[in-house]
Amino acid sequence: MEGFSGSTLRALAGPRSYERGLGHLNAVSGVEVGDGRVTASVHGTERYEVELALDGPDGLSGECDCPYGMEGNFCKHPVALGLTVLAQREGLPRRRKAARDRAQNLDGWLSGLSKDELLALVREQVGEDRQLRRRPELRAASARGDLAAVRARIRDPLDISPFAQYGAGRRRGVRHPGKSPEERKAQRRSA
């Protein structure tokens, strides 16, 4: 956690995203501190899930599920979360220790469950959590050697066809289907 500072956040995000992150400090909610990570929701245009890895191999890093963050950018949302955590820095070591204790308690409880109890718990969780379900489905398809199912499980979250269709039409100049260029010019003149 040595490299966790406002200047590190600025260097990762760049000046524009850093400044925009300052405007989202009141939009951070549900901060959860883990041993080596911090997660939260940041409300912008929509609600985005953000994670900061505090002790990663490359130092501080962040992920966000907003469109800009999904492109691999350190956006304004991790900046807002990071600055929020820095404002509460004194309590961070205690919260990280509490997270380690919770993880140890959970591990102890899970270790004490029978195989049937573990299977029931996993089945319950995958039945309720679509993202969680995708992981074992992918592993099961891989173990069966079902390459078509593996491809489908990988492609589903990456489906960009609606965006590709929209972008393809705009590249060809098809902005107003059914209207000729002359009709569009006449419409602009009358407006």
- Residue ranges covered by each domain of the chain: 6-95, 113-157
pLDDT given for residue 168 in this prediction: 47
- Name the range with the highest mean pLDDT among 28-32, 66-70, 77-81: 77-81
Measured in residues, the chain has a length of: 191
- CA distances (Å), 158 to each of 44, 151, 161, 162, in order? 23, 11, 9, 11
**pLDDT band with cut points at 50, 70 and 90 for residue 174:** very low
Q: Quote the CA–CA distance of 147 and 141 in Å, as a whole number.
A: 7
Nearest Cα neighbor of 80 from 62, 67, 94, 95 is: 62
Pick left, alpha or beta for residue 2 (phi over 0 → left; psi -120 to 50 → alpha; otherwise beta): alpha
pLDDT in tens, 17-60: 999 999 999 999 989 888 788 999 999 789 999 999 987 777 88
pTM: 0.61
pLDDT tops 70 at residue 164? no
Q: What three-state secondary structure class fits 153?
A: helix
pLDDT tops 60 at residue 113? yes
pLDDT given for residue 93 in this prediction: 81
